[in-house]
Structure 1
Amino acid sequence: MARQERAEVTRSAILEGAARAFEKAGFAGTSLSDIVGEAGVTKGALYFHFASKEELAQAVIEEQFSVWDDVPALDLPGVQTVIDLLHGMAEQLQASIRVRAAIRLVVDQSSSTGANADPYVKWIDLIRNCFAQAQGRGDIRADVDVESAANLIVGCWTGLQLSSQVLTGRKDLNERTTQMWQVMLPGLVPVRRLGRFLPEGTGRSALVAGAAGQ
C-alpha cells in the first residue's frame, strides 16, 4: 500500500474511532487514550494527523457537514431543498455514527475555548439563503423575515432531534421532521403554493444522494 494511501486509511480509522468515543461520552468525557483504543492506532499515529483533541473534534464536525457547502451551487435552491436537507440529516443520524458524533459535539458546544457556533451559523446562513431565493420566486410569503425563519427552523429541529433521541433513539426522527414541516409550512408559504412542497421530503436529499431538488 502506498504511503499516502496508508495515511488516508489511518486518518479514516482515527476519525471513526473518535466518532465512536465522542458519540458515547461527548467531548469532555473522552480522552485521547479512549480514541486510540477505539481506532486501534498508536498515539504517535494520532498526533501525526491531529495535534489535539480539539482539532480532532473539529475534523469530525467539518467532515460531516462539508456537503452543505455544495447547496448554494444547486439550481434554484429553495423551500424543498431545506425540507430535504433536514430529512437527509435525520436519516444520517440514524445510520452514521460519525454524523451522530458530530451532532453531539455541536450540541454539547464541545470546545475547551467555548461554544462552537460555526455549524449553527452555517446552517442558519444556508437556510436563509435558500429562503431568500424562494421568496424572490414567490414561494415564501413576502411578510416573512427569512433570517428569523432560518433561526427558528434550526432551533426547532435541534430540539426535535434531541427529544427524538431521548424518547425513541431517533427512530421516529423523520416522522417528527415531517410533522414540524406540516406545522411550519403554512406560516412560510403562500396558500396557493403549499401544494408544491412535500413535508415528508422528496427522497432527493443532498445529504443522502449528493444533490437536492428545488
Structure 2
Amino acid sequence: MDGAARAFDVAGFQGTSLSDILKEAGVTKGALYFHFASKEALREALVAEQFAVWSPFRNGPDPGVQTVIDLLHGMAKSLRENERVRAGIRLVVEQSTQKGANPAPYLTWIDLFRNCLTQAQGRGDVKPEVDVDSVAKFIVGCWTGLQLTSDVLTGRQDLTRRTSDMWNLLLPALVPPRRMKRFLPDGSPEVLATAAAPTAGSAPAGTSRPRP
C-alpha cells in the first residue's frame, strides 16, 4: 500500500500502471495479487485510510464540537505527513471530477460530523436554531475546498493555519457565546500529539463507518 500510495500521489489513478506500483513496492505481481485483486481494490483501500484519523477519538470523552475541530486538524497533519492519506485524498478528488463519482467518503464525513454536532447540540454546546445536517455538509465542502487551495498555493504547508481560520470564523455562528471558551480552534494539543498514522487494513469507506 505504501508503494501504491507513492505512485498514485505522483501520477493519480489513470496515470499509474500496475508496473509502477510493483516498482515502488518492490514486490512481484503475484505478491500484489495475493493481497489485492486489482488496481481498483488498492484505490479503495487507500481511500479508506483517511478514516484512520478517527482512531484516537474512539475511547475519548463524548464527541462534540471539539471532536470535529480536532478531526480536521488531524487530517491536516496527515495530509502533510502521511503519503497514504495524501494519495487517498487525491484519488477521492479524481473520482469526484469524473462521471460516476464515488460519494461514500463525503457521506461518511458528513455522517460523522452530524452525529458529533447533534450530541453537542443536546448538551447546549451548539445553538438550538442551528441545522446540524446543513452545518455538517458545509464543513465538509468548506474544508475540502480549503485543503485543495492550500495544496495549490503552499503544498498544504499552511493548511493547519487555514483550518484554524475556518474555525475562528465558524464557531461564533455555531456556539452560544457563554460556551465559546470551551473550544480551541487550533485543536487540542493532547489529542493531536497522539494522532495515529493510518495503518494497513483500515475498512473501506461505506463498509465500517466510524461512529461517535
Matches within 5 A, 1:163-178: 163-178=149-164
- How far, CA to CA, are the matches of 1:143 and 1:20 in structure 2? 45
2:112 maps to 1:109:
no
Q: Percent identity?
A: 64
Structure with the greater alpha carbon radius of gyration: 1
Kept in 1, the 8 Å contact 2:53–2:195? The answer is no
Structure 1 residue 114: deviation in Å?
2.8
2:197 maps to 1:197:
no
2:57 maps to 1:45:
no
Q: What corresponds to 1:93 in structure 2?
A: 79
Q: Which has the higher contact order (CA 8 A, sep 6+)?
A: 2
Q: What corresponds to 1:54 in structure 2?
A: 40
Q: What corresponds to 2:140 in structure 1?
A: 154
2:182 maps to 1:179:
no
Q: Deviation per CA, 1:44-97: give whole Å up to 9, x if none.
A: 111111111110111112234144377466421000011011011101111111
Q: What corresponds to 1:7 in structure 2?
A: none
Unpaired stretches in structure 2, ≥5 consecutive residues: 197-212
Structure with the higher fraction of residues in helix conformation: 1
* CA RMSD, Structure 1 to Structure 2 (Å): 2.2
Distance 1:73 1:146, change over 3 A: farther
Pairs aligned (count): 197
- How far, CA to CA, are the matches of 2:73 and 2:50 in structure 1? 15
Unpaired stretches in structure 1, ≥5 consecutive residues: 1-14
Structure 1 residue 140: deviation in Å?
0.3
TM-score, normalization: structure 1? 0.85
- How far, CA to CA, are the matches of 2:176 and 2:117 in structure 1? 13
